[in-house]
Structure 1
């Protein structure tokens, strides 16, 4: 006699936001933030405390997906980092942030 158990396969709890980022479940927490905490040594339980809007099973699922698809996710993270640096640079040039501190001090 054999016992058969059926397992339901579920997708990671990811959704794309309007800016092209990946969010965890229905929260505003980005995959970037979750993985930054994970890479800094936080356990899934510590991440759940840090981001109390996330369910522990969603955190484990996101990390498991990352570990299974490391190359694709690392590529996504690198693209996000490059885009962020480019936007910071453009913003800094557009608003002349280099001398912002001095301009604020001169106002006094």
Structure 2
């Protein structure tokens, strides 16, 4: 019996917001790659994110290993966007004095 060799497509998709997700799930490429870089095995990643198929996790890690430069560029861009969003949020809603404001509001309602 001959072994059939088939190419498996990488189970990643880009959503409407430009975020790369794994195989029709809400789990991002960032999440899987970060867990892998922190030393998690594919099985451990699968335990943390049960919506992912183990075979998809292996394919995503394989994609990362073959395209490190592109993935790192994508992750750096996502990190930059996250920092900009956080700065905008902190400018609009200053966290300085937040605890005191919440405690004051709470004491007035009691």
TM beyond 0.5: yes
Q: Which residue of 2 aligns with 1:95?
A: 93
Match of 2:49 among 35, 39, 51: 51
User: How do 1:1-80 residues align onto structure 2 when only pairs under 5 Å count?
Assistant: 6-80=4-78
What are the Cα deviations for residues 59-97 of structure 1, in whole angstroms up to 9, with x where unaligned? 000000000000000000000000001100100111122
Distance 1:96 1:30 in 2: 29
* Structure 1 spans left out of the alignment, 5+ residues: none
Structure 2 CA distance for aligned equivalents of residues 96 and 22 of structure 1: 31
Q: Is the Cα contact below 8 Å between 1:92 and 1:98 reproduced in 2?
A: no
Runs of 4+ in 1 over 4 A off after TM superposition: 3-6
Secondary structure at 2:25's aligned position in 1? coil
State the TM-score, normalized to the length of structure 1: 0.90
Q: Per-residue displacement from partner, 1:23-63 (whole Å, max 9, x unpaired)?
A: 00011000111111111110001111111110011000000
Partners of 1:71 and 1:98 lie apart in 2 by 38
Unaligned runs of 5+ residues in structure 2 are: none
Q: In structure 1, the residue corresponding to 2:21 is in which secondary structure?
A: strand
* Superposed displacement of residue 7, structure 1: 2.0
